[in-house]
Amino acid sequence: MAKKVIISTPRGTVYTIASNTSRSLLKNQQRGQTVTARLSWNRSFSNRFSSQYSKAQKFVDSEVLRGCSALVPFQTGALQKSGVLGTEVGSGEVAWIAPYAHDQYYNTPRTRGYDANRGAYWFERWKASEAKRVLSAAKKLAGGG
């Protein structure tokens, strides 16, 4: 089960500045006066956006797995499946957990004789070609246009 993204906001903060110096911090502020500013969060922000952000994160995680599956070296399919098993979609972390995944990612050629698309640095290669499209779609899912 994927982790639910929870957005929490602080109750608020009050800032007070006293202009005790000869040079006032604020324009037209008289010496000896104080200025108070209150920072408060919109309480509906968390309720409105948590589910949208969670959907966007699940989308990004799924797209990384889907897109990289065509780039991961493939002999038995275990490396590719380790990405699905090692990833909790929606957590924001995609991991290939096969014991040899690190070596396949960093210490092998970028292409294979059986398929020129499969090889080392599969995530970096996927990111170079697809990241803008996926992040743009995720932005729309999260309500950012």
Q: What are 14-27's pLDDT values in tens digits?
A: 666 665 554 555 55
Residue 22 forms part of a structural domain: no
Domain range for 107 is: 51-141
Residue 19 forms part of a structural domain: no
Instruction: Give residue-wise pLDDT tens across range 53-77.
Output: 899 999 999 999 999 999 999 999 9
Dihedral angle of Cα 60, 62, 65, 66, to the nearest 10 degrees = -110
Residue 107 forms part of a structural domain: yes
Residue 30 pLDDT grade (very low, low, confident, very high; cuts 50, 70, 90): low
Instruction: Output the CA–CA distances (angstroms, integers) from residue 104 to 35, 74, 100, 101, in the order listed.
Output: 60, 10, 6, 5
Residue 26 forms part of a structural domain: no
